Structure 1
Amino acid sequence: MTVCDDGGACAWSGSVAMDPLDRVVKPKTKRAKRFLEKREPKLKENTKIAMLIKGGNANLRVTEVLKDIYAVKKPFAVLYRKKNITRPFEDQTSLEFFSKKSDCSLFLFGSHNKKRPNNLVIGRMFDYHVLDMIELGVEKFVSLKDVKNSKCPEGTKPMLIFAGDVFDVNEEYRRLKSLLIDFFRGPTVPNIRLAGLEYVLHFTAVDGKIYMRSYKVLLKKSGCKIPRIELEEMGPSLDLVMRRTHLASDDLYKLSLKQPKALKPKKKKNISHDALGTTYGRIHMQKQDLGKLQTRKMKGLKKRPAEKAAEDSGVSPKKSKSA
């Protein structure tokens, strides 16, 4: 931008610098076309992918935590093995750059320093911008290698269990619960197979700490059709404490939850559902003459010939003397 002699700003001169990721790229090959189509907005979005980033001063414990979380999240995760000097609560541009580059909407950042040792920052993106993030401190950690038990296969969808009233009372813990569900839920499946329910992630909030435990479900013989269920600790297990939070405003959070109109179920007239899912239908009928209602044919209800003739002529039948 050039400045005129009188101090005013003149027109733009030269080209304007533009972020390479913001440019409109036209695909030259079919492979590039398929790659761009995957990133386009869809009615049913793809499974959310998480990126795990190691800070510039991450120690061995934080590195092991990121590796174990990556093993739990695979194949819906990207692990950055090189150290990245960034501070999410001070500057979020690097996180947004990595999010746009790898097409990830979830992130987990690990760091370590004297003021905040063994630090984890978990968060999510909305339109490639940080929506909310929560800083957690790791007080105790047991890795997958330390537990000498059988493991679940890669890509197993976990069952999530949350214990503690604080998850429903406190707004920060309520948002943390939503964030953890978003992070670990995995792909949406149409059907559930009993043998596939073999992995449990249990989160307990008590006395200002969050305990994360992972178990493998063992189906044992019980002598009946329903098997006996046992839980075997598998790892990783973490004892966490909440430190700092960066939560989105209510308006922005509500906007991020908005769904397109095409996904909303269309209302059907005269059909309602109760809390248990039972369907009720309302039927509209014309006014009926109950006098002409066909009843069960019995000899005692059979009309006499005189009564029929009187009804046809519109005259009430004469009563007998004996009556």
Structure 2
Amino acid sequence: MIRKKAKRKATKLLEDRKPKVIENPKRSLILSGRKVNKDLKTLLQDLHRLRTPFSVNFTQETHDLLPFEEVQPIEKLVKSEDTSLFLIGSHQKKRPNNIIMGRCFDQQILDMVEFGVSELKQMESKASLLNNLGSKPCIVFKGDEFKNNPQFETIRSMFLDFFRIEDPSSINLLGLDHVISITAIDSNNLAFNHYKINFEKSGQKTPHVQLVDIGPSMKLSLRRTRWASDDLKKNAMKIPDVLRKSKDRLKNVFRDELGNVQAKIHVQQQDIKTIGTKNFRATRKGVAEETTKKLDMMERMDKFLYGKRKLSSSTPTSSNDSTSTPTTETKTPQPPTKKIKQ
């Protein structure tokens, strides 16, 4: 069997799907579930317009998808379309006006959140000007829940991945033409608002900024969640070694929970002899040898003197020896005698 070479377009597509050090902008897949009402369908189309051109719209057809019960069908669609984000809308009697937002890593579902939509306001026709070249959204998070609640911290990162699109190196303030505001009302409800920025004359150099609500605006109630496992989350947040060893990055520098900058210092094993310490006389070179020599001499002298004394005490003196010293006899005292008278 002779295999034909792949066409240039196919090879380019396969190379584009390979993992890279700096990944492409995240693409989203927007789907409609088994049943979708008119309001929910317009919401999915409006969110698709906010992410254009990095979004794939599959809302024209219904799909039998239940991600919290079966994971394989949605993973198959994500793999075929090469997307890392997905959004599914469905309307049921048990869960009306339901949307599921999720992320994928390595063509596997990383985490998912299910919201209930209420008080929906559709996007106006003015929003068609938002997809101009260089247009960027300003994303604002309000509420203490995004800092104190770990669930809302993950939800915050999911909204950032969904609406941030690209990471530009520099930003032109005139390119920030719309604002996405997400407010944490309580531990179970969110408020989503979308505003357009209008620059008006103020009589000064800086213009007067005015926000106009153009939709979509809605309230989201938290229903079901599925968070990533520790191992999968660790692999998803891993930074490549090429980016770790860059010159711009400071090594061993990090921030603690309070935001203070801290660093780790690794010191190699040092040679104690080369350390510059205070030079005492006892530590000087040659002093130790002199002290040992003196101690040896003192030991020899003690041995010599001790041996001579022992020798002199052990040898007896003879009377015939002319060199011997005269000995003195000691008389013992006697008691006095009394004279008796006769």
TM-score, with normalisation over the residues of structure 1?
A: 0.72
Please say if 1:113 is aligned against 2:88: no
Query: Equivalent residue for 1:231?
Result: 211
Give the aligned CA root-mean-square deviation in angstroms.
Answer: 2.7
Aligned residues: 252
Identify the range of structure 1 (86-95 vs 27-36) with the bigger mean alpha-carbon deviation: 27-36
Matches within 5 A, 1:297-312: none
Runs of 5+ consecutive residues of structure 1 not aligned to the other structure: 1-24, 277-323
Query: In structure 1, what is the Cα distance between the partners aligned to 2:33 and 2:95?
Result: 13
Query: In structure 2, what is the Cα distance between the partners aligned to 1:260 and 1:135?
Result: 31
Matches within 5 A, 1:1-323: 28-80=6-58, 81-145=60-124, 149=126, 151-154=128-131, 156-207=135-186, 208-266=188-246
Q: Quote the offset at 1:268 in angstroms.
A: 8.3
- State the structure with more CA Rg: 2
User: For the structure 1 residues 272 and 135, does the alpha-carbon distance in structure 2 shift closer, same or farther, using more than 3 Å as the test?
Assistant: closer
Q: Quote the offset at 1:224 in angstroms.
A: 2.4
Higher helix share: 2
Q: Quote the offset at 1:125 in angstroms.
A: 0.1
- Report percent identity of matched pairs: 36
1:151 and 1:234 in contact (8 A); partners too: no
User: For the structure 1 residues 174 and 150, does the alpha-carbon distance in structure 2 shift closer, same or farther, using more than 3 Å as the test?
Assistant: closer
Q: Give deviations 1:207-241, integer Å, cap 9, x for gaps.
A: 33111000111112222222221111111111110
User: For the structure 1 residues 113 and 26, does the alpha-carbon distance in structure 2 shift closer, same or farther, using more than 3 Å as the test?
Assistant: farther
2:130 and 2:177 in contact (8 A); partners too: no
Identify the range of structure 1 (105-114 vs 203-212) with the bigger mean alpha-carbon deviation: 203-212
Q: Give deviations 1:7-50, integer Å, cap 9, x for gaps.
A: xxxxxxxxxxxxxxxxxx98611111111111011111000000
User: For the structure 1 residues 143 and 268, does the alpha-carbon distance in structure 2 shift closer, same or farther, using more than 3 Å as the test?
Assistant: closer
Q: Helix, strand or coil for the counterpart of 2:45?
A: helix
Query: In structure 1, what is the Cα distance between the partners aligned to 2:25 and 2:115?
Result: 25
User: For the structure 1 residues 269 and 35, does the alpha-carbon distance in structure 2 shift closer, same or farther, using more than 3 Å as the test?
Assistant: closer
Runs of 4+ in 1 over 3 A off after TM superposition: 148-152, 265-276
User: For the structure 1 residues 149 and 261, does the alpha-carbon distance in structure 2 shift closer, same or farther, using more than 3 Å as the test?
Assistant: same
1:152 and 1:216 in contact (8 A); partners too: no
Q: Quote the offset at 1:243 in angstroms.
A: 0.3
